[in-house]
Amino acid sequence: MPGFVYQTALNLCLKRLRSLARGSRALNRLGPDGSIVALDDPFTVLVRAERRAAVRSALHRLEPGDRHLLELFYTEALSTAEVARRLQVNTGAIRVRKHRALLRLADVLDERRGNETTTSGTDR
């Protein structure tokens, strides 16, 4: 019995220490104004910026209805039920429209990526 109590206490202490370490790492990422500071290397930041620009460009190529639907979900962070209520459509239809809009967005991104690959291949 004493071994069980000792091992349980040891595990609880180790769990607490891991939790404190995670908390301190999270606090280290906060800037003086409370915003999260990016600790990524410059290459990662550049790739993320390029990816955001590509998605933004692809969004502008979508039809206005698809763009508006995706803005409601991702910019305004609305739930499916709220989007359905705003657009006066049932939730099942909204799920299907969202799925199809995301597929069209992926197609536009793939199309753009294919054009870049073709263009960069001819430059050699």
CATH classification of the domain holding 82? 1.10.10.10
Q: Which amino acid is at 74?
A: Y
CA 69 to chain centre: 17
Q: Which domain holds residue 115?
A: 42-122
pLDDT by 10-residue block (mean), the chain, 124 residues: 89 88 72 60 77 90 93 91 94 95 92 66 49
Number of structural domains in the chain = 2
Which pLDDT does position 120 carry in this prediction?
Answer: 53
Is the same domain home to 31 and 90? no
Q: Which residue in 41, 58, 43 sits closest to 116, CA to CA?
A: 58
CA 52 to each of CA 57, 60, 116: distance values in angstroms, whole numbers, following the listed order: 9, 12, 16
Do residue 4 and residue 25 come from a single domain? yes
The answer on 62 and 22 residing in a single domain is no
Pick from 51, 95, 55: nearest CA to 75: 55
pLDDT of residue 63: 94
Q: Give the pLDDT confidence score for residue 48 in this predicted structure.
A: 82
At residue 41, the pLDDT reads 66
Q: Distance between CA 116 and CA 118 in Å, rounded?
A: 5
